Amino acid sequence: MQSYASFLVIGADVGGLQVGNMLVQLVSFLILLALLKKYAWGPLMNKMEERENHISNEIDIAEKNRTDAEKASREASAELKQTRQEAQSIIEDARLAGQKQEQQIIEAARVAAESIKKSAKEDIEKEKENAIKALQDQVATLSVQIATKVIEKEINAQDQEKLISEYIKELGEER
């Protein structure tokens, strides 16, 4: 019975309420709290806060960079579009100018050809007239010569007399 009882009674002290214990406990806990706050929790919390700020900073910067990049890309694409439009308009202008020049050249050539044709025609006409005139002159001269020769051969003094008188008579009648 005795051994059974001693088996159950551990004899571990519940502790009681020794005032000294309590004071030691209170003081040591408060000292621990102060020391840990100064040497462990303080630095740790500061570091965590610092990291939090750092991260939020980094996020802000990244956000800003992204916005900048987007803006730059938008600008670049707008510029590219504008440049393309300009190039298009330059090509269009060049094409129009080319067409115009072509028209002008053709027109000028046509005018030149026309004028050359005209002057050539005039020349031909003139030459023709000249030729005709020359021919007429020659024919007249020739006919006179022929006539002279015929007359020289056939006319005699009698006839000549008669012709002259007739001529004079005619003149007189006319008056």
10 near another protein, rule: CB under 8 A: yes
What Rg value do the Cα atoms of the chain yield, rounded? 70
Maximum separation of any 2 CA atoms in the chain, in Å? 219
Count CB neighbours of 138 within 10 A: 10
Cα 52 to Cα 58: distance, rounded to the nearest angstrom: 10
Judged by CB under 8 A, the chain residues 62 through 81 that form the site for another protein are none
Judged by beta carbon, residue 46 or residue 103, the one nearer another protein is 46
Distance from chain centroid for Cα 5 = 110
26 near another protein, rule: CB under 8 A: yes
5 near another protein, rule: CB under 8 A: no
Residue of 2, 4, 5, 11 that binds another protein (CB under 8 A): 11
The H or E element that residue 128 is part of is helix 42-154
Residue of 5, 14, 157, 171 that binds another protein (CB under 8 A): 14
CB of 22 to another protein, least distance (A): 4
9 near another protein, rule: CB under 8 A: yes
Residues whose CB is less than 8 angstroms from the CB of residue 21 and which lie 6 or more positions away in sequence, other chains included: 15
Judged by CB under 8 A, the chain residues 41 through 60 that form the site for another protein are 41-45, 47-48, 50-51, 54
Cα 114 to Cα 72: distance, rounded to the nearest angstrom: 62
Contact segment (CB under 8 A) with another protein among 15-23, 59-67, 77-85, 135-143 equals 15-23
35 near another protein, rule: CB under 8 A: yes
Count CB neighbours of 98 within 10 A: 10
29 near another protein, rule: CB under 8 A: yes
Cα 43 to Cα 54: distance, rounded to the nearest angstrom: 16
What does the binding site for another protein look like in residue numbers (CB under 8 A)? Answer: 6-7, 9-22, 24-26, 28-29, 31-33, 35-37, 39-45, 47-48, 50-51, 54
